[in-house]
Structure 1
Protein backbone atom coordinates (compact mmCIF):
# COMPACT_ATOMS: atom_id res chain seq x y z
CA UNK A 1 0.00 0.00 0.00
CA UNK A 2 1.12 3.56 -0.72
CA UNK A 3 0.37 6.37 1.72
CA UNK A 4 0.24 9.75 -0.01
CA UNK A 5 0.74 12.79 2.23
CA UNK A 6 0.48 16.33 0.88
CA UNK A 7 0.75 19.61 2.78
CA UNK A 8 -0.26 22.98 1.40
CA UNK A 9 0.47 26.55 2.40
CA UNK A 10 -2.38 28.77 1.26
CA UNK A 11 -1.54 32.10 -0.32
CA UNK A 12 -4.35 34.23 1.16
CA UNK A 13 -3.21 36.64 3.83
CA UNK A 14 -6.73 37.48 4.99
CA UNK A 15 -7.66 34.86 7.59
CA UNK A 16 -11.33 34.72 6.53
CA UNK A 17 -10.37 34.09 2.90
CA UNK A 18 -7.81 31.50 3.96
CA UNK A 19 -10.46 29.75 6.06
CA UNK A 20 -12.88 29.76 3.09
CA UNK A 21 -10.23 28.23 0.83
CA UNK A 22 -9.32 25.60 3.41
CA UNK A 23 -12.98 24.68 3.91
CA UNK A 24 -13.57 24.33 0.17
CA UNK A 25 -10.47 22.19 -0.30
CA UNK A 26 -11.44 19.99 2.65
CA UNK A 27 -15.01 19.59 1.38
CA UNK A 28 -14.05 18.85 -2.22
CA UNK A 29 -11.27 16.44 -1.29
CA UNK A 30 -13.63 14.62 1.09
CA UNK A 31 -16.00 14.02 -1.86
CA UNK A 32 -13.34 12.25 -3.95
CA UNK A 33 -13.48 8.75 -2.38
CA UNK A 34 -17.06 8.36 -3.66
CA UNK A 35 -15.91 9.36 -7.15
CA UNK A 36 -12.48 7.72 -7.48
CA UNK A 37 -12.41 4.00 -6.66
CA UNK A 38 -8.61 3.89 -6.26
CA UNK A 39 -8.83 5.83 -2.98
CA UNK A 40 -8.77 3.34 -0.09
CA UNK A 41 -8.92 6.06 2.56
CA UNK A 42 -8.62 9.82 2.58
CA UNK A 43 -8.43 12.40 5.34
CA UNK A 44 -7.92 16.15 5.14
CA UNK A 45 -6.96 18.20 8.17
CA UNK A 46 -6.72 21.94 8.73
CA UNK A 47 -3.88 23.17 10.90
CA UNK A 48 -5.00 23.93 14.47
CA UNK A 49 -1.80 25.24 16.08
CA UNK A 50 1.28 27.37 15.39
CA UNK A 51 0.03 28.92 12.16
CA UNK A 52 3.13 31.08 11.90
CA UNK A 53 5.31 28.00 11.20
CA UNK A 54 2.97 25.12 10.32
CA UNK A 55 1.46 24.32 6.95
CA UNK A 56 -2.24 25.15 6.51
CA UNK A 57 -3.68 21.84 5.29
CA UNK A 58 -2.70 18.19 5.09
CA UNK A 59 -4.04 15.35 2.96
CA UNK A 60 -3.42 11.74 3.96
CA UNK A 61 -4.64 9.15 1.46
CA UNK A 62 -4.00 5.45 0.95
CA UNK A 63 -3.81 3.58 -2.35
CA UNK A 64 -3.29 -0.08 -3.21
CA UNK A 65 -0.08 0.66 -5.13
CA UNK A 66 1.77 3.30 -7.16
CA UNK A 67 -0.36 2.58 -10.24
CA UNK A 68 -3.54 3.31 -8.25
CA UNK A 69 -2.02 6.60 -7.05
CA UNK A 70 -1.19 7.52 -10.65
CA UNK A 71 -4.76 6.75 -11.79
CA UNK A 72 -6.07 8.94 -8.95
CA UNK A 73 -3.74 11.76 -9.94
CA UNK A 74 -4.95 11.61 -13.55
CA UNK A 75 -8.66 11.31 -12.69
CA UNK A 76 -10.72 14.30 -13.94
CA UNK A 77 -12.29 14.91 -10.52
CA UNK A 78 -8.87 15.04 -8.86
CA UNK A 79 -7.67 17.34 -11.64
CA UNK A 80 -10.66 19.64 -11.03
CA UNK A 81 -9.96 19.95 -7.29
CA UNK A 82 -6.23 20.23 -7.93
CA UNK A 83 -6.79 23.14 -10.30
CA UNK A 84 -8.49 25.13 -7.53
CA UNK A 85 -5.79 24.20 -5.02
CA UNK A 86 -3.14 25.36 -7.49
CA UNK A 87 -4.88 28.72 -7.72
CA UNK A 88 -4.98 29.33 -3.95
CA UNK A 89 -1.79 27.75 -2.63
CA UNK A 90 1.64 29.29 -2.30
CA UNK A 91 3.52 26.05 -1.67
CA UNK A 92 3.14 22.27 -1.66
CA UNK A 93 5.15 19.40 -0.24
CA UNK A 94 4.42 15.69 -0.56
CA UNK A 95 5.71 12.31 0.55
CA UNK A 96 4.64 8.91 -0.76
CA UNK A 97 5.73 5.86 1.19
CA UNK A 98 4.97 2.17 1.46
CA UNK A 99 2.89 1.04 4.39
Structure 2
Protein backbone atom coordinates (compact mmCIF):
# COMPACT_ATOMS: atom_id res chain seq x y z
CA UNK A 1 0.00 0.00 0.00
CA UNK A 2 1.02 3.59 -0.62
CA UNK A 3 0.03 6.48 1.60
CA UNK A 4 -0.50 9.72 -0.33
CA UNK A 5 -0.26 12.85 1.85
CA UNK A 6 -0.79 16.38 0.58
CA UNK A 7 -0.69 19.60 2.59
CA UNK A 8 -2.18 22.74 1.02
CA UNK A 9 -1.28 26.32 1.92
CA UNK A 10 -3.54 29.11 0.69
CA UNK A 11 -1.67 31.83 -1.15
CA UNK A 12 -1.14 35.20 0.48
CA UNK A 13 -4.39 37.18 0.52
CA UNK A 14 -6.64 34.16 -0.14
CA UNK A 15 -9.20 33.41 2.57
CA UNK A 16 -11.15 30.26 3.33
CA UNK A 17 -14.38 31.94 2.21
CA UNK A 18 -13.01 32.73 -1.26
CA UNK A 19 -15.34 31.12 -3.85
CA UNK A 20 -12.33 29.49 -5.53
CA UNK A 21 -11.44 27.79 -2.26
CA UNK A 22 -15.04 26.62 -1.84
CA UNK A 23 -14.94 25.09 -5.32
CA UNK A 24 -11.59 23.42 -4.62
CA UNK A 25 -12.82 22.04 -1.31
CA UNK A 26 -15.94 20.63 -2.99
CA UNK A 27 -13.85 19.01 -5.73
CA UNK A 28 -11.45 17.31 -3.31
CA UNK A 29 -14.14 16.37 -0.79
CA UNK A 30 -15.83 14.29 -3.50
CA UNK A 31 -12.66 13.00 -5.18
CA UNK A 32 -12.08 9.90 -3.07
CA UNK A 33 -15.41 8.42 -4.09
CA UNK A 34 -14.83 9.12 -7.77
CA UNK A 35 -11.45 7.50 -8.29
CA UNK A 36 -11.61 3.68 -8.18
CA UNK A 37 -7.95 3.32 -7.21
CA UNK A 38 -8.44 5.18 -3.92
CA UNK A 39 -8.85 2.69 -1.08
CA UNK A 40 -9.14 5.26 1.70
CA UNK A 41 -9.67 9.01 1.49
CA UNK A 42 -9.61 11.87 3.98
CA UNK A 43 -9.67 15.54 3.01
CA UNK A 44 -10.18 18.24 5.62
CA UNK A 45 -9.36 21.73 6.76
CA UNK A 46 -6.57 21.92 9.31
CA UNK A 47 -7.70 22.87 12.81
CA UNK A 48 -4.32 24.28 13.83
CA UNK A 49 -3.84 28.04 13.92
CA UNK A 50 -0.05 27.89 14.33
CA UNK A 51 1.91 30.14 11.99
CA UNK A 52 3.66 27.25 10.24
CA UNK A 53 0.47 25.21 9.73
CA UNK A 54 -0.90 24.35 6.32
CA UNK A 55 -4.59 24.97 5.61
CA UNK A 56 -5.93 21.68 4.21
CA UNK A 57 -4.75 18.08 4.01
CA UNK A 58 -5.33 14.91 2.03
CA UNK A 59 -4.57 11.54 3.57
CA UNK A 60 -5.25 8.77 1.05
CA UNK A 61 -4.17 5.22 0.34
CA UNK A 62 -3.80 3.32 -2.93
CA UNK A 63 -2.60 -0.23 -3.60
CA UNK A 64 0.65 0.43 -5.46
CA UNK A 65 2.59 2.80 -7.73
CA UNK A 66 0.43 1.96 -10.74
CA UNK A 67 -2.70 2.86 -8.77
CA UNK A 68 -1.05 6.09 -7.62
CA UNK A 69 -0.29 6.99 -11.24
CA UNK A 70 -3.86 6.22 -12.33
CA UNK A 71 -5.17 8.35 -9.45
CA UNK A 72 -2.87 11.23 -10.42
CA UNK A 73 -3.94 10.98 -14.07
CA UNK A 74 -7.67 10.64 -13.33
CA UNK A 75 -9.65 13.49 -14.95
CA UNK A 76 -11.42 14.42 -11.70
CA UNK A 77 -8.07 14.66 -9.91
CA UNK A 78 -6.61 16.77 -12.70
CA UNK A 79 -9.65 19.08 -12.59
CA UNK A 80 -9.25 19.52 -8.83
CA UNK A 81 -5.54 20.23 -9.16
CA UNK A 82 -6.30 22.90 -11.77
CA UNK A 83 -8.65 24.62 -9.31
CA UNK A 84 -6.17 24.51 -6.39
CA UNK A 85 -3.31 25.74 -8.58
CA UNK A 86 -5.11 29.12 -8.82
CA UNK A 87 -5.02 29.88 -5.08
CA UNK A 88 -2.69 27.53 -3.18
CA UNK A 89 0.64 25.74 -3.06
CA UNK A 90 1.20 22.28 -1.66
CA UNK A 91 3.69 19.64 -0.64
CA UNK A 92 3.33 15.91 -1.23
CA UNK A 93 4.69 12.76 0.39
CA UNK A 94 4.03 9.26 -0.99
CA UNK A 95 5.35 6.30 0.95
CA UNK A 96 4.81 2.56 1.22
CA UNK A 97 3.33 1.17 4.41
TM-score by length of 2: 0.86
Distance 1:50 1:57 in 2: 12
Deviation of residue 93 (structure 1)? Answer: 0.8
The residue aligned with 1:75 is 74
TM-score by length of 1: 0.84
Are 2:41 and 1:6 aligned?
A: no
SS in 1 for 2:30: helix
SS in 2 for 1:77: helix
Q: Which runs of 5+ in 1 are unaligned?
A: none
Deviation of residue 24 (structure 1)? Answer: 3.2
Count residues in correspondence: 97
Give the direction of change, closer, same or farther, for the CA distance of 1:7–1:19 in structure 2 (3 Å limit): farther
The residue aligned with 1:94 is 92
Q: Which runs of 5+ in 2 are unaligned?
A: none
Deviation of residue 13 (structure 1)? Answer: 2.0
**How large is the Cα RMSD of the aligned pairs?**
2.0
Distance 1:20 1:80 in 2: 13
Distance 2:16 2:77 in 1: 25
Q: Which has the higher helix share?
A: 1
